[in-house]
Structure 1
Amino acid sequence: MSQSVTLPNFFIIGAARSGTSSLYEYLRQHPQVFLSNPKEPMYFAFPEQAVTFAGPGDEREINRKAVTSWADYCQLFDKAGDNTAVGEASANYLYSPCAAQNIAAKVPHAKLIAVLRNPVERAYSSYLYTLREGREPLGDFQAALAQEPERIANNWEHLWHYRSMGFYSAQLERYFAHFSRDNIKIILQEDLQHNVDSVVRDVFEFLGVDPAFKAETGVAYNQGGKPKNAWLNSVLTKPSPLKAALRPVTPRFLLDAYVKFKHKNLTKPALEETTRRTLEQGYMQEIDKLEALLARDLSHWRGVAA
């Protein structure tokens, strides 16, 4: 007799650098929710294929980490038990040209959660994150934006697509083509940031678990920024087998304290206004499309370019 396989029934699909790490941490506290470890298996973006991105740190951060075998992917959910909601949170699924179709083929009735951020802020956050990780070789955001087409041509991974990842409408349409809109929950990052408890409660309801459960939401996870002390940042952010083993069993208050300490070593330089205006102008038509697609007012994303 073949052993039954537990598959995820929900996915946090992105967008990268929009609060998916925080949402993952909040949801995994619920006793009826099981989330994979690692957070981002990325299987449906790269099923049964070699991952060979060529940007700085890509080999370590994505090529080796992506789970590309179906058997290995299924093993991530072996301990899901009888949890109502079983999920994962690969933030590159939204941007991936094939993930929507691949998820639909394996889990056609999956529930999907997308967190969307002002695309200008998302692009800058992605830059600050790669800067924090010691991967971004350019100390100027505008210069990095100018290099984006060449980086994409040279097969740097999606996180380097600072500007390109912010065109959400086409990305969402891929999911709308394969899934009922009732199965897709779209959250704005500013709502997650400013009304976090209400948003998390809504997500619990969407997933069919007890919405009365109160998650600890006082910490925002995985923030980007320019390190004050490069050596300390390296110690705090460098992956290790010990960190990976301790993380699932570390008490929540200690994990939160560690995250806060790590974030204290970061500064967030202000985005230059000329760069902001250029990006805002470039996203104007995209925001129009997104408003029509979602039937939601996003005028606050237009900024001074409006």
Structure 2
Amino acid sequence: MTVPDVIIIGAMKCATSTLAAQLGAQDGVFLTQPKEPNFFSDDDIYAKGAEWYGALFEGAGAGDIKLEASTHYSKRPTYPHTIARLQASGARPKLIYIVRDPVDRLVSHYIHEWTQGVIPCGLDEAVQSFPELIEYSLYGKQITPWIDAFGADAILLLTMEDMTKDPQVVLSRVGSFIGHDNLEWFTTLGRVNASSERIKRFPFHRILFDNKIAQTLRRSFVPKSLRDALKAKRQMQARPVLSADIRAGLRDIFAADGRILAGHFPRETAIEDLYSKGSI
């Protein structure tokens, strides 16, 4: 089967879409559409078969670096078969794993799921009721089976904080890793898939709110004051904050996992900054 040369495997809400868009805009790099096929992780997508997956790369030119970016690949235990399926394909891709302050990632994950209507409760309750919020921030635990399968040399660890501070430096590191010189960060692309409005979605949201005809009718017949009031009721007014007790518990959990991550990547000084200066 046709397989990728490079995969961005996560983590969720760590600017993976932004990095994928930057790479996809470079000459000599081919990014799948959708950029996040989740082929090796999701059972229903995997059931579409190797030909379906291979067709995602049909537009790649000779010599292009074939890229996909699926954050489901670092969402264990939700998707337990990802690595075995990738190994069975015969692929030996280079893997990029982007992380960020684990608490910040957890909160952004919560906001995303709240807007999608998946998590209906407050942040503290969600941390205790939805274990994936913590699991996907356990970067050491998530990356260990990837290292066991493909080796640490096959994995480039990046932090979102470094990419925000100096994106060109980070992109150059990526270029050296994937074997593509002179990558250029395009400031015109901006951030991709960044949650800002924090609007709760519901069934038929796309039809009622994203549809251009519906938007025109709404603006023509519904007073702006009423539209604003209805929007405010569906909007998270401020970024939620964890209680002191919940934060203290997470601090111990994430610090222990951070030591695992540092053990895998002893030369990555950014890991220490991630766990010593961040919100934990």
TM over 0.5: yes
RMSD: 3.0
The corresponding residue for 2:22 is 26
Q: Aligned pair count?
A: 247
Letter in 2 for 1:142: D
- Does residue 148 in structure 1 map to residue 144 in structure 2? no
1:122 aligns with 2:105: yes
Q: Distance in 1 between matches of 2:188 and 2:38?
A: 25
1:168 aligns with 2:150: no
Q: Please say if residues 228 and 267 of structure 1, whose CA atoms lie closer than 8 Å, have aligned partners that are also in contact.
A: no
State how far apart, in whole Å, the 2-side matches of 1:239 and 1:103 are: 36
C-alpha separation in 1, matches of 2:190 and 2:91? 34
Query: Distance between the aligned counterparts of 2:148 and 2:14, measured in 1?
Result: 23
Secondary structure of 2:136's aligned partner: helix
- In structure 1, stretches of 5+ residues that fail to align are 51-65, 150-160, 241-264
Q: Which runs of no fewer than 5 residues in structure 2 stay unpaired? A: 212-234
**Corresponding letter in the other structure for 2:101:** N
Task: Give the Cα–Cα distance (whole angstroms) in 1 for the partners of residues 88 and 188 of structure 2.
Answer: 34
- Residue 101 of structure 1: how far off its partner (Å): 2.8
Q: Which residue of 1 aligns with 2:9?
A: 13
Residue equivalent to 2:175:
204
2:8 touches 2:70 (CA, 8 Å); kept in 1? yes
Aligned to 1:276: 247
Structure 1 residues 304 and 199: CA distance shift in structure 2, 3 A: closer
| CA distance 1:86–1:121, shift in 2 (3 Å) | same
Q: Following the alignment from structure 2 to structure 1, what is the Cα–Cα distance between the partners of residues 210 and 37?
A: 16
Instruction: Quote the offset at 1:6 in angstroms.
Output: 3.6
Identity between Structure 1 and Structure 2 (%): 24
Q: Which amino acid aligns with 2:87?
A: A
One-letter code aligned to 2:146: Y
C-alpha distance in 1, partners of 2:185/2:252? 40
The answer on whether the counterparts of 1:225 and 1:266 sit within 8 Å (CA) in structure 2 is no
Please identify the structure whose Cα radius of gyration is greater: 2
Q: Is the 8 A contact 2:138 2:254 kept in 1?
A: yes
1:253-302 per-position Cα deviation (integer Å, ceiling 9, x unaligned): xxxxxxxxxxxx98651523514333222212111222222114434324
Q: Secondary structure of 1:271's match?
A: coil
Q: Does 1:92 align with 2:72?
A: yes
Distance of 2:208 and 2:75 partners within structure 1: 25
The whole-number CA distance in structure 2 between the counterparts of 1:239 and 1:20 is 24
More deviation, 290-299/80-89: 290-299
Equivalent residue for 1:109? 92
CA displacement at 1:167 relative to structure 2: 1.5
- The one-letter amino acid of 1:205's match is S
Q: Do residues 76 (structure 1) and 76 (structure 2) align?
A: no
The one-letter code of the counterpart of 1:141 is L
- Does the CA contact (< 8 Å) of 1:45 and 1:99 recur in 2? yes
- In 2, the alpha carbon distance for the partners of 1:31 and 1:111 equals 18
| C-alpha contact 1:9 1:85 (8 A) present in aligned 2 | yes
Shift of 1:7: 2.4
Cα distance in 2 for residues equivalent to 1:228 and 1:279: 27
Distance 2:208 2:52 in 1: 26
Query: Does the residue aligned with 1:190 lie in a helix, a strand or coil?
Result: helix
Describe the SS at the equivalent of 1:199: helix
- TM-score, normalised to structure 1, is 0.71
Aligned to 2:220: none
Q: Is the 8 A contact 2:3 2:91 kept in 1?
A: no
Determine whether 1:35 maps to 2:46. Answer: no
Report the AA paired with residue 263 of structure 2: A
CA contact under 8 A between 2:140 and 2:257: conserved in structure 1?
yes
Partner Cα distance (2:210, 2:199) in 1: 19
Instruction: Give the Å deviation of 1:28.
Output: 0.5
CA deviation after TM superposition for structure 1 residue 106, in Å:
1.8
Q: Distance in 2 between matches of 1:304 and 1:80?
A: 40
8 Å contact from structure 2 (residues 104, 279) kept in 1: no
Distance 1:162 1:280 in 2: 14
Among candidates 131, 156, 160, match of residue 114 of structure 2:
131
- What secondary structure does 2:61 align onto? coil
The aligned amino acid for 1:105 is A
